[in-house]
Chain A
Amino acid sequence: MSRPATPARQRPAKSRRDTELTFLRLVPGDSAVHRLWAGTKLLVAAELALMVSISPTWPMVAVVAGVVALELLVARIPLGTFPRLPNWFFAVFAISALLSLWSTTKPVTHVGGIALSLGGLDEWARFAVLAVELVVSGALVGWTTPLGEIAPALARLGGPLRRLHIPIDEWVIAIALAIRCLPLLIDEICLLGAARRLRAHDHDPVRGRPRATVRNVLTETHDLLSTALVVSIRRARDLADAIEARGGLSAAANSSGSRFRFADGLVLFATTALCVTTLAVLHL
């Protein structure tokens, strides 16, 4: 099977916005939010998630959005921090909005003979805003906290669970190692993707790319997955060696980080008061 030489498919690099995962990276800076104890930030994120789960109403959604926005402002998080999502993501977003608009949920308005469901749109918007603000509130912890401080904070927060014979220390070590290894593993998965692209041969006028039959796609998926697993297990063995070289897991959970201070108490009190008041006003 022959085909003419493929024309250059290079997209103009300047206009292209790369899809990039920008989570779990510290945004440089030294703001009040950066200085808070990691545990406080985690508690605030958990609290906000709990509040909108109890009461997913516009006032509560607005309160949570306000808290998140305040955090973003105080921490001076630039717009470029937010992950750049691929276009199809927005397409799915838009399609779901359109479908909601076509639903028959009241109130319904008529524009030029077409019934548009404002009720459906309202619910869609509330749901979308809620989802986005929750992801941002979680991501904020990663953007404003050195990664090394997260696991010790969890160790302190989970302290009471020790009495229930829950192996909290083991979990904290596991979380610390998971944070440490995730960037390396994501790099390795990217390298695997590159290895796949390098052997794709879609440039070749004679052989062409192997046909994308179900069988070929399955084989390729299987190849990539198996390679990822083998490479990861090898990495895990190196990691185990390194842990052994530091004397094993017995003392590993100890680590010092920044501690609970007055500002932390203030922030926790203020958020809790705000949330509880909103909840009371809405439901009592």
Chain B
Amino acid sequence: MQRPRKTHARGRLTPGELAEAVVLADVSLALTVVGQVVPLGGALLVAAVVPLAVVAARHRLRAVITGAIAAAAVGFLVIGTAAFTTMGACAALGALVGAAERRSWSRASTMFVGLATLWPAASVIALVAMGAFTNLRKLTLDQIRNGWLGLFHLVRNLGLVRLARPGEKFVVWVVRDWWLSVPLTLFLLIWFGIWLAHGLSTPALQRVRSAFGNAIVDEGVPDRVDEDLAAPEPLPVALRGVRYRYPNARGDALVDVTLEVSPNELVAIVGANGSGKSTLASVLAGRRLPASGELERPGPVGLGHVGGTAIVFQRPEAQVLGVRVRDDVVWGLPHPERIDVEASLDRVGLRALADRETSTLSGGELQRLAIAAALARHPKLLISDESTAMVDATGRARIVALLDELAHSDGLGVVHVTHRAAEAAAADRTIALAGGRVVDAPVLLRPDEPAKPSELRPAVRIGGPLITLERVGHIYSRKTPWANRALAEVDLTIRTGEAIVVVGHNGSGKSTLAWILAGLLAPSEGIALLEGKPIVGQVGRIGLSFQHARLQLLRPTVLDEVRTAGGVDDAAARAALAAVGLDPRQFGTRRIDELSGGQMRRVVLAGVLAAQPRALVLDEPFAGLDASGRAELDTVLTELRHRRDIALVIVSHDRDLPVGLVDRVVELEAGRIARDDPLEDAVPEAQP
């Protein structure tokens, strides 16, 4: 197998390395913390080694150390000083196992190297610490002795004197000659630790590699241009005949693209998912260098630098770096105290929220915050890379208006990448992409596997009550200073065959309602029943699909996933795949991480459907999908309603749902039902 060499052997960590080290070390810490409060948490403690092993296998030792230090510092505030020893042990074992995996050592060699290096180091550290803190050592050892002596006392009273006597002697020896017994214990612990960590990490690393390619040292942002010292001058930029291909990709992502962007204009780039529009945005932002063709600009791009280029991405919560709104605006800027944070926030209409925590903002607010952070850098070029894709209609309108204003009043060059043709209306020019080429008109509807709605029944039979919620309310963190009411006095009856949509803003309680409907959460007030029995005891009878589909896909390949999720055989899994418009012959053996976001959602749906649920709850099923993705999912769901006696609950912040999909709209406002009306055209049309 090819083992690529490290590219950055020395020096500071790159953003890619640091981010991965921190996030994975955090996972490790989270497992440790959870390991302290759940029974049999010891298993999680061993699992906590694996994330750091992944860092070690993919990056430099410096990344492992930095990640572990960060996690230990955060952990100190959660579990106290135990965080230092736990994270230290995890980092040491992880670094060893990761290095072993990268160099293809056998388990025996790993054991040998590990014991030869870690054991002496750990023993010296332990003995020095125990020598320094004499009194604490005595207390701890006495505590261990007392516990075991008590146990053997019990054993003796049970009549097992033969077992108790040598046991007592052994414990007394361990405590008395600690300078010998501690290193010996460490030897056994490390031996066992390496054995377990190696066994757990190797298969996990294989899956990580199959998901992210063979490149062990992560390519991160591959063709990053080194920052020039000159002042940024990104505009006007001209591309002529630009071609780009991702490493290890089969085809070109961009072919012969020619375009210009000047100050004082709003350019829209439209196209379906996979048309190359985000790649083009990356090239414009200087994050990727074209493979061929010409790219001309007067000076450096200056991505993220004052007077340079700013970019806003698709996923709102993923680009927040600060804990508070104010911190996020100035993150990464030199001399934050000189920045007029209020002015930037004022431009995007978030001035009142300057001291709020970023975790309390809605998707639309977060995207405007990202624009405020961009404005604090006074950019000449602003790129919005599908920044409106995950935002509701009101939020979208505000962002598009803001972009328009920035281009035409402030004189910025603004590039707005979107899959919604309607948003291009405000633009001075629209560039349509399809298959990486500039085309005359956008090809937005491109169903790759059209599900054919055929022989639909004229109308859906609506049966008796299936799910009943009576005066349901829920308070998170009850009896704590953070008590937070999410739902109040919700009365809701859902009948078989019925399809409802639950709409509301962020924080209106929609997701809580979805969890209660699926039985994952016992409401703190009222009762939630499925066919007369509490839903909590029947988890799985009501299917739930998360907005974040990847978290529900646990097996490596598609068919395997559907089979396991549904608890069904091969034939049923194939049928379920076909029912969601994915050809089992084509998709059955695909790896999960090769799928697009829309395909992942449909695989989750297939797994849920295979289990034959009585009702289906879909959390934001349309978020982030382009027009063709929406159309496909719409067809699948409509067909589903007509073929099975199933109730459908769609939870959405978005009101523009496909016509004819649902018969009832329930609107939540601050945890209460503000509206519960049948939709005018309750009878679905036969064909959209």
Question: Which residues of A does B touch, CB under 8 Å?
Answer: 6-11, 13-14, 16-25, 27-28, 45, 49, 52-57, 78, 80-81, 83, 85-86, 88-89, 96, 98-105, 117, 120, 123-124, 126-127, 130-131, 134-135, 137-139, 141-142, 146-148, 150, 154, 167, 170-171, 173-175, 177-186, 188-189, 191-192, 194-204, 207, 210, 221-249, 251-252, 254-256
B158 within 8 A of A: no
A236 touches B330 (CB 8 A): no
Bound CA span A100–B474, Å: 43
Q: Is the CB of B139 within 8 A of A232?
A: no
In the complex, B589 has a CB within 8 A of chain A: no
Contact of A229 among B13, B27, B565 (CB under 8 A): B27
CA distance A229 to B554 in the complex (A): 11
Interface membership of B230, Cβ < 8 A = no
Question: Interface with A: B184-192, B321-329, B485-493, which one?
Answer: B321-329
Query: Once the chains bind, are B550 and A230 in contact (CB under 8 Å)?
Result: yes
Q: Inside 8 A of B337's CB, which chain A residues have their CB?
A: 256
Chain B residues near A222: list those with CB within 8 A.
200, 203-204
Among B14, B54, B77, B539, point to the contact of A203 (Cβ < 8 A): B539
Contacts of A171 in B (CB 8 A): 66, 69-70, 73
Q: Are B136 and A189 in contact (CB-based, < 8 A)?
A: no
> 13 A-B pairs, CB-CB below 8 angstroms?
A10-B534, A54-B133, A85-B37, A96-B147, A124-B146, A127-B140, A178-B70, A197-B539, A198-B518, A198-B540, A246-B304, A246-B333, A254-B334
Q: Which residues of A contact B147 (CB under 8 A)?
A: 96, 99-100, 103
Distance A185 CA – B70 CA, assembled complex (angstroms): 15
CB-CB under 8 A for A182 and B30, given A88-B39, A198-B543: yes
In the complex the two chains form, is B136's CB within 8 Å of A56's CB?
yes
19 additional A-B pairs beyond A78-B481, A199-B564, A199-B565, beta carbons within 8 Å, are A6-B537, A21-B37, A99-B146, A138-B77, A175-B74, A180-B322, A194-B544, A195-B554, A201-B611, A204-B567, A227-B554, A229-B207, A229-B208, A238-B313, A240-B18, A240-B221, A243-B321, A246-B332, A256-B337
Which residues of B are found within 8 Å of A184, using beta-carbon distances?
Answer: 317
B33 and A21: CB pair below 8 A? yes
- Is there contact, CB below 8 Å, between B203 and A255? no
Q: Is the CB of A245 within 8 A of B304?
A: yes
Kindly state whether residue B16 has any CB partner on chain A within 8 Å: yes
Which chain B residues lie closer than 8 Å to A56 at the CB level? 135-136, 139
Q: Which residues of A contact B39 (CB under 8 A)?
A: 86, 88
B78 touches A80 (CB 8 A): no
Interchain nearest-CB distance for A50 vs B (Å): 9
Q: Is the CB of B70 within 8 A of A177?
A: yes
Q: Are B77 and A139 in contact, CB atoms less than 8 angstroms apart?
A: yes
- A246 adjacent to B565 (CB under 8 Å): no
**Interface residue? B642 (CB, 8 A):** no
Q: With A170-B13, A177-B22, A230-B550 in contact, is A200–B540 under 8 Å at CB?
A: yes
- Shortest Cβ gap from B292 to chain A (Å): 24
Contact A231 B551 (CB under 8 A): yes
Contact yes or no, B520 A198, CB < 8 A: yes
CA distance A248 to B543 in the complex (A): 42
Main secondary structure of the interface of B (DSSP, over half): helix
Residue of B73, B80, B212, B480 touching A80 (CB-CB under 8 A): B480
The listed residue (B70, B311, B373, B593) touching A175 by CB distance below 8 A is B70
Q: How far is the CB of A55 from chain B (nearest CB, A)?
A: 6
Minimal Cβ-Cβ distance residue in A for B535 = A10
Asked whether A245 lies within 8 Å of B319 as measured between CB atoms, the reply is yes
Q: CB < 8 Å: which of A81, A236, A256 contacts B336?
A: A256
Which of B74, B81, B337, B540 has the most C-beta atoms of chain A within 10 angstroms of its own C-beta? Answer: B74
B546–A195 CB distance below 8 A: yes
For residue B26, CB closer than 8 A to chain A, the reply is: yes
A192 CB to closest chain B CB (Å) equals 6
In the complex, which of the residues B29, B149, B227, B520 contacts A194, with contact meaning CB atoms closer than 8 Å?
B520
A242 and B318 in contact (CB under 8 A), knowing A181-B26, A229-B51?
yes
Q: Which residues of B contact A142 (CB under 8 A)?
A: 77-78
Chain B residues, Cβ within 8 Å of A167: 12, 66
Q: Complex Cα distance A148/B322, Å? A: 7
> What is the distance, in angstroms, from B125's C-beta to the closest C-beta of chain A?
15
Assess the A247–B305 pair: CB atoms within 8 A: yes
Is the C-beta of B105 less than 8 angstroms from some C-beta in chain A?
A: no
> Of B24, B135, B318, which contacts A55 at CB under 8 A?
B135
Contact of A185 with B30 in the complex, beta carbons under 8 Å: yes
- Flag whether B555 is at the interface (Cβ < 8 A): yes
Chain B residues lying within 8 Å of A83, measured Cβ to Cβ, are 37
Contacts of B317 in A (CB 8 A): 184
Chain A residue at minimum C-beta to C-beta distance from B544: A198
Contact check, A249 vs B37: say whether CB atoms are below 8 A apart: no
Chain A residues within an 8 Å CB radius of B548 = 188, 191, 231
Closest 8 pairs (CB-CB, A-B): A247-B304, A99-B150, A246-B332, A238-B318, A102-B150, A174-B70, A10-B534, A103-B149
Partner among B74, B79, B135, B537 whose Cβ is within 8 Å of the Cβ of A179: B74
Of B211, B377, B482, the contact of A25 (CB 8 Å cutoff): B482
Q: Which of B51, B135, B518, B533 contacts A8 (CB 8 A)?
A: B533
Q: Are B37 and A89 in contact (CB under 8 A)?
A: yes
Given contacts A9-B537, A104-B153, A127-B143, contact A174 B323 (CB under 8 A): no
Whether the Cβ atoms of A240 and B553 lie closer than 8 Å is: no
Neighbour of B24 across the interface among A18, A148, A186, A233, CB < 8 A: A233
How far apart are A58's CB and chain B's nearest CB, in angstroms? 11
Q: Which residue of B lies closest to A184 (CB)?
A: B317
Determine whether the beta carbon of B15 is less than 8 Å from that of A24. Answer: no
Q: Contacts of A85 on B, CB cut-off 8 Å?
A: 37
Q: Closest chain B residue to A99 by CB distance?
A: B150
Q: Which of B29, B145, B336 has a CB less than 8 Å from the CB of A182?
A: B29
User: Are A243 and B33 within 8 A (Cβ)?
Assistant: no
B523 at the interface (CB under 8 A from A): yes
Of all chain A residues, the one with the shortest Cβ separation from B538 is A203
Known: A20-B477, A248-B332. A235 touches B23 (CB 8 A): yes
Q: A232 and B27 in contact (CB under 8 A), knowing A6-B537, A103-B145, A135-B79?
A: yes
Given the known A-B contacts A104-B153, A238-B315, are A225 and B321 also in contact in the complex, defined by CB atoms under 8 Å? no
CB-based contact B303/A245 at 8 Å:
yes
Contacts of B565 on A, CB cut-off 8 Å?
A: 199
CA of A207 to CA of B18, assembled, Å: 46
Do A174 and B336 touch (CB < 8 A)?
no
Point out the residue from A226, A249, A254 that lies within 8 Å of B333, measured CB to CB. A254
Look across to chain A and name the residue whose beta carbon is closest to the beta carbon of B551: A191
Contacts of B305 in A (CB 8 A): 247
B338-389 at interface with A (beta carbon < 8 Å): 359, 373-374, 377
A223 to chain B minimum Cβ distance, whole angstroms, is 4
Cβ-based interface call for B478 (8 A): yes
Give which listed residue, B74, B550, B608, contacts A227 with CB less than 8 A: B550
- For B71-107 the 0/1 string (1 means CB < 8 A from A) is 1011011111100000000000000000000000000
B25, closest chain A residue (CB): A178
